Amino acid sequence: MNIQVLPDNKLSSVDPLKSYNNVEKKEVELILVKDRNGVQYTNSSIIAASSSTESAEEAERETWGKKIDFLLSVIGFAVDLANVWRFPYLCYKNGGGAFLIPYILFLLIAGMPLFYMELALGQYNREGAATVWKICPVFKGVGYTVILIALYVGFYYNVIIAWSLFYLYSSFTLELPWQHCGNVWNSPNCTDPKVLSGSLLKNGSSYSKYKITPAAEFYERAVLHLHESKGIQDLGVPQLRLVACLVVVVFILYFSLWKGVKSSGKVVYITATMPYVVLFVLLIRGITLPGAMDGIRAYLHIDFKQLKNPKVWTEAATQIFYSLGAGFGVLIAFSSYNKFDNNCYRDALLTSSINCVTSFFSGFAIFSVLGYMAQKHGVNIKDVATEGAGLVFIIYPEAISTLPGSTFWAIVFFIMLLTLGIDSSMGGMEAVITGLSDDFKFLKRNRKLFTFATAFGTFLFALICITNGGIYVLTLLDTHAAGTAILFGVLVEAVGVSWFYGVDRFSDDIEHMMGFKPGLYWRLCWKFVSPVFLLFVVIASIVNSSDLKYDEYTFPKWSNYVGWGIALSSILLVPFYAIYKCCTVKADTLKQRIAYCITPEHEYHLVAEGKIRQFELNHWLSI
């Protein structure tokens, strides 16, 4: 490395080192900072010897035990319940095989680039979602935004895992409890599915919409106790059995995360691989059922006319974004524990591809069973096809209950749901823990206690979602807490990295890590295509927003305001922190104040010396 030696008064923003007598021993910390003109300046500072050991310990960051630990953690987070209960139905509804055209297009121009950007951002800076913005301090509020959103998601996502655990526990019987009417939770209107196959379905109603089947009543009356609530204003008390399941889920999360990536990296060996084993087993069983091929043909049918519908493109864009999980701070947190020279480019391509292939593959396992259900009840595929909780907690369990060895298949299926949820929830909680502990060092020194506090906090808030009317709270959080807010957060993140920090500077960082710069394709996507894509998705989410509903229940107006209030609570962190940062930074002029806000922290000495980069000065300040 060739270092150009400059006069003493330009070596540093601090006074030249003097001889110190009768004081404690000091050490010199030397930081090399390279300017764009090729000249390298040095920044010297004095640190006490007594604190040097502590600083070294803080600088030494934990890393993954093995590369496979990281890959499985990323795959486990990205592959979640939505891969099973949302993508197959979206694909079927929006043109079958034709839906793959916009889906793959958005994967290539936005999904993968954003995935790659977050992995590289975390790995180079070795910081969580908040402190990673030392690259452009004015955007640190984005880090707090995604951390808060990840916390919100934990409030209700753990409840869905608790449902899966409750179903798993209930499956350990000779006869599945949702197989027949006559249980204590069944209503007088409970009707055997064979009856619904007849005259009741001839009025044009969909079988998946009937709430009086044994499976539907088990979900809504035995699990949710929804019949005991009149709406979101009438929540009632938490259900004790779900409280017990939630406690188990929180304990699993805590003991998976309390020691950092050394412990969570081992848990994913089970939670990330088990869903693939189960999906394969369910697929083999599914294709042997009568009517399975009809279901698969319906899943893969190609209707190019659907591509004329803008909603199809909107849903493809939204699905690819949420499927990969960019923007929740998880990818940044996970990659921050990588070795500095890890090839995160290859990791991004591999893990994002595996996630999307898993979504497509799961459709075969789902629709083979839906085809069987349609033939069994003598209805069309569209009458049994649905998405979300209705698919995995009503339709699929009902289909399983009609199979020989139904207990075994139910146990296998709900183990898959449990593991799909656990590792995704682990990722969200790790984003919160890493993001805050990197920002507040005392939390890092007390990680076990902080992890317990985070887990216990999510447990307390989740209690609201397991009350009689808890499903309404869950629906509100799912719609608003991680809806437009997370889209806005990632949009600002992409703009901050690509335009304020700069694609060229970001590319240099990647070259420093891996020895090669990103190609022109990736740089164009980061700077132009991905921000435009995210802006499109943000606008589409706002335009398509409507009043909250859960089946036939319409939420009161005030609950919509509460939902948007929750969304704004995270969105407003971006401008509030930007204002706070720009108002509190010490500077003599407006130009210098703004420069401090958008200049990477390790280059602050250049601002102090008046050597503001032309990038910041001309492109943004226009002064």
Let me know: does 385 contact 89? Beta carbons within 8 Å.
yes
* Residue 263 among known ligand-binding residues: no
* Residue 420 among known ligand-binding residues: yes
CB atoms within 10 A of CB 326: 32
| 3-state class (DSSP) for residue 556 | coil
Region for 547 from its dihedrals, namely left if φ exceeds 0, alpha if ψ lies in -120 to 50, beta otherwise: beta
Question: From CA 317, how far away is CA 324, in angstroms rounded?
Answer: 11
For strand 553-554 and strand 26-34, is the pairing parallel, antiparallel, or unpaired?
unpaired
* Residue 606 among known ligand-binding residues: no
Region for 209 from its dihedrals, namely left if φ exceeds 0, alpha if ψ lies in -120 to 50, beta otherwise: alpha
* Residue 478 among known ligand-binding residues: no
Residue with tokens 């139904």: 406
Let me know: does 451 contact 254? Beta carbons within 8 Å.
yes
Let me know: does 302 contact 97? Beta carbons within 8 Å.
yes
Question: From CA 332, how far away is CA 328, in angstroms rounded?
Answer: 9
Question: From CA 400, how far away is CA 214, in angstroms rounded?
Answer: 13
Nearest to 147 by CA among 337, 429, 465: 429
* Residue 352 among known ligand-binding residues: no
Question: From CA 392, how far away is CA 413, in angstroms rounded?
Answer: 9
Question: From CA 253, how far away is CA 249, in angstroms rounded?
Answer: 6
* Residue 424 among known ligand-binding residues: yes
* Residue 412 among known ligand-binding residues: no
* Residue 423 among known ligand-binding residues: yes
State the helix-helix crossing angle for 573-584 and 140-170, rounded to 10 degrees.
150
* Residue 446 among known ligand-binding residues: no
Let me know: does 540 contact 317? Beta carbons within 8 Å.
yes
Backbone phi, then psi, for 556, in 5-degree steps? -65, 160
| Bind-site residues for Na(+) | 76, 78-79, 83, 323, 355, 420, 423-424
| Bind-site residues | 76, 78-79, 83, 323, 355, 420, 423-424
